A and B are shown apart, each in its own frame.
Chain A
């Protein structure tokens, strides 16, 4: 069974640009969560999608948005990039109602210059 996949793995952007990251969950998983990891703030929850609906949202500005498609694939978008958005963005998936699992992808490392 294939794991969680994220594309691209590495990305370099400049301030003011926008970026879209993609996450494909494990087959059969309908919940997708996004996390941001930085050296200063650690791992922080961005949002969670379930059945194409945002079910949960962390404390991030509106520049961070996401969506989920009918095949459970999810994208997150960051507009008007700032230097502080440089981070590892991790996506995790789980089955509906499975509170004992969250499987992560390899992450997308975003660098904002």
Chain B
């Protein structure tokens, strides 16, 4: 069965430091996509970054980068130079072969001054 695992319920990071949020996935499909979303307390899911299973280079979007290790089935999110506004829930998700998203349980990130 396809599954996303986020083992860190909560993470703390000091402002301006980098932080890595872990995500591992399980699938037997050869073609799949991996997403990271940020969910502030308002509830909206904000798209951060996408990695396709055939993409050879790690995806980057501004301060966000995805450390994609296909053999290990991991897709960790790296946030560089954390800001107070980065405090939120972060969800890793996988697009399965029916095109629906399967989400992990999320990691609550708190950035402190």
Q: Give the contact-size bracket for chain A.
A: 20 to 34
A90 within 8 A of B: yes
* Contacting pair B43 A88 (CB below 8 A): yes
- Which of A42, A56, A105 lies in contact with B44, CB distance below 8 A? A105
| Bound complex: CA A99 to CA B91 (Å) | 18
Which chain B residues border A42 with CB–CB below 8 Å? 103-106
Chain B residue at smallest Cβ distance from A4: B44
Give B98 Cβ to nearest chain A Cβ, in Å: 5
| Bound complex: CA A49 to CA B66 (Å) | 30
A109 within 8 A of B: yes
Contacts A42-B105, A100-B33; A56 near B99 (Cβ below 8 A): yes
Residue-wise interface mask of B (14-56) relative to A, using a CB-CB cutoff of 8 A (1 in contact, 0 not): 0000000000000000000101010000111111001010000
Closest 7 CB pairs of A and B: A104-B45, A43-B103, A45-B100, A106-B44, A107-B43, A100-B50, A56-B98
* Contacting pair A35 B47 (CB below 8 A): no
Most buried by A among B43, B95, B103: B43
Complex interface residues of chain A between 58 and 96 (CB less than 8 A to chain B): 58, 88, 90, 92
A33 within 8 A of B: yes
* Contacting pair A104 B44 (CB below 8 A): yes
Which chain B residues border A55 with CB–CB below 8 Å? 99
B81 within 8 A of A: no
* Contacting pair B43 A106 (CB below 8 A): yes
Most buried by B among A33, A88, A99, A103: A99
* Contacting pair A58 B100 (CB below 8 A): yes
| Bound complex: CA A101 to CA B37 (Å) | 11
Which chain A residues border B93 with CB–CB below 8 Å? 43
Complex interface residues of chain A between 5 and 43 (CB less than 8 A to chain B): 31, 33, 35, 42-43
Chain A residue at smallest Cβ distance from B44: A106
Which chain B residues border A102 with CB–CB below 8 Å? 35, 47, 95, 101
* Contacting pair A100 B52 (CB below 8 A): yes
